[in-house]
Structure 1
Amino acid sequence: MYPLDVVKTRVQLQPAGATGADAYTGMVDCFQKIVRNEGFSRLYRGITAPILMEAPKRATKFAANDKWGKLWRDVFGQEKMTQSLSVLTGASAGATEAFVVVPFELVKIRLQDKASAGKYSGMTDVIVKTVRNEGILAMYNGLESTLWRHILWNAGYFGCIFQVRELIPKASTKKGQTINDIIAGSVGGTVGTILNTPLDVVKSRIQNSPKVPGQVPKYNWAFPGVATVAREEGFAALYKGFVPKVLRLGPGGGILLVVYTGMMDFFRNMREAKLA
């Protein structure tokens, strides 16, 4: 799925009115121009950071969702999860997850941008140069926008999973449960992507803008950044890169839920067998 993320980022970072050989008219055009002008391997530039990020990111997402769910049920005196609590729990888990992913996202964005191709030789080089030139806290540039991005995606994702599971017939077999999880997770991933893409566009621009002493960045805070993009480029610009993003995170949300459920069942069975 990673090439879709590269294309998404390139399209999101492209300024309004861009022209020339590297101006992208859409997802397919971006794919073609990257391969033709930079080589196929460019579609995988920066992949080390997200590979290292995936395990702690997903573990944090579901562990936090479980812990926040128990906390909010106790706070509101609910024995079982409800639709509203699913949304609140997902948002809380998203905020927790954001603190884990920000440095990895910053490295990934700077390596994916074509303009940065000559600046950095790899992940370690990005970290060293960012810390040396901008300070250690620069690794958390875009934290606020990342928080909002993950809050909205996880609220939509877990909220939709709860609702879809309530609406579709209960599965009586393991295969049926897998199908239900694919449907619920894919719907959740799609809705989450619709909700958070404007914040993702702004986050990409914030993290790709080096901090310069004495200068206020054009994109600095999430919602003012959203307003700037909408004013200068039109509302549609807030959904730049939406197609490759939803193609990755829609089905990806279904796969994520199936794998999580399957692994939890696997480890639960192992523990029960050991105790027996």
Structure 2
Amino acid sequence: MNRSFHVTLLFRSLPAKLINGGFAGIVGVTCVFPIDLAKTRLQNQRRGQQVYKSMVDCLIKTVRSEGYFGMYRGAAVNLTLVTPEKAIKLAANDFFRYHLNKDGRGLTVFKEMLAGCGAGMCQVIITTPMEMLKIQLQDAGRLAAQQRKPAVMPTVKLVVGSAAVPSPTKIARELLHTQGIQGLYRGLGATLLRDVPFSVVYFPLFAHLNRLGQPNPSEAAPFHWSFFSGCAAGCTAAVAVNPCDVVKTRLQSLSKGANEESYSGVVDCISKILRKEGPSAFLKGASCRALVIAPLFGIAQVMYVLGVGEFVLGYTPVSLFSA
């Protein structure tokens, strides 16, 4: 194929890939959000102030105190913003892979990592404000439960400037009013530290695992193989960057429980966690995060293989970026 035809396919397939990524994000978030809520609450617990013993204990106590839909607190933010977030991440990786393979010789592992790095840097435009709002809502139940414990003395505001849990819109408005746009992008550095390495690990690993299931180089791997490849790569990358996720969660939590310290930045957060809680604190929520990310990316890759976006737009699926 000549260069102009490649470019035509590139721009024709991007809208389909945006639909694929968005649809995958919505389905995935709906399935795994309760586990993500447990991850946030476990990561925010300090030594000596544990409200939850494990993921299962967290989910049981959440249902008892907040009802079934308490497990989906903050889900509206994710469902609204996960479409552009996942679409940008997956489409950007394909976009960079295409441009790094202009010579048609295939991608080296280094170039695959570069493409993943570019995808991770692009997605934080949406990821940072999305997680900023989501964490305030997810962690409100932990703070409320901590207040109910007799050992906890002061009353804690659940979120910015309010004794009750407001809507994400109200939180966003208050942050913009008091801190400007940087309020929504609090923890941007920690988000980059998490998402860039995640993408550097995930995308090359998925590409190589998926290639093992291809009958031959010209045929796509079966969708079930792509699903398991996405799960395996997502799980590996999620656990690898979990320490960065703990730091990001702590930095983005605006409300603190009794005797919970604040952090001035990434370095301050890391040093305080190491000094007061030890290295094991950086693994908090790792199993929850693996259980969240694995199906999310497994589903995402299946959407690409099945070509949902191409079907919606009436295109013939093209594997332009899979090399």
The reply to whether TM is greater than 0.5 is yes
Question: Which of these residues, 51, 64, 69, is aligned with residue 36 of structure 1?
Answer: 64
Code of the residue aligned with 1:177 in structure 2: it is P
Question: What is the TM-score when the length of structure 1 is the normalising length?
Answer: 0.85
Match of 1:113 in 2: 139
CA drift of 1:134 comes to 2.8
Q: Distance in 1 between matches of 2:96 and 2:129?
A: 24
Residues 154-187 of structure 1, C-alpha deviations (whole Å, 9 max, x = no match): 1121021122134x24237999611220121111
Matched, 1:99 2:152: no
Give the residue type in structure 2 aligned to 1:180: W
Contact 1:120 1:126 in 2 (8 A): no
**Which blocks of at least 5 consecutive residues in structure 1 are unaligned?**
211-216
- Structure 1 CA distance, aligned partners of 2:293 and 2:225? 17
Matched, 1:122 2:153: no
Ranges in structure 2 where 5+ consecutive residues have no aligned partner: 1-31, 144-157, 256-260, 318-323
Change (3 A) 1:9 1:272: closer
Task: State the shift of 1:97 in Å.
Answer: 0.4
Q: Are 1:202 and 2:247 counterparts? A: yes
The question of whether the paired residues in 2 share the 8 Å contact of 1:83 and 1:162 is answered with no
Cα shift at 1:67: 2.1
Alpha carbons of structure 1 residues 197 and 207: separation in structure 2 relative to 1, 3 Å? same
Shift of 1:228: 2.9
Superposition map of 1:46-65 within 5 A = 46-65=74-93
Partner residue in 2 for 1:17: 48
Q: How many pairs align?
A: 261
Alignment match of 1:8 (pick from 36, 39, 53): 39
For residue 301 of structure 2, what is the aligned residue in structure 1?
Answer: 257
Distance 1:158 1:133 in 2: 38
Q: Choose between structure 1 and 2 for higher RCO, CA contacts under 8 A separated by at least 6 residues.
A: 2
C-alpha distance in 2 between matches for 1:272 and 1:178: 17
Cα displacement string for residues 180-235 of structure 1 (whole angstroms, at most 9, x for unaligned residues): 2012111110111012211111111111137xxxxxx8434335423432332111
Conserved 8 A contact 2:231-2:298: yes
2:108 partner letter? T
* Structure with a larger share of its residues in helix: 1
Q: Confirm whether residue 82 of structure 1 aligns to residue 82 of structure 2.
A: no
2:291 equivalent to 1:225: no
Percent identical residues: 28
CA distance in 2, matches of 1:57, 1:152: 17
In structure 2, how many angstroms separate the alpha carbons of the residues matched to 1:140 and 1:42? 26
CA offsets 1:216-265 (integer angstroms, 9 cap, x no match): x8434335423432332111111111122111111222111111232268
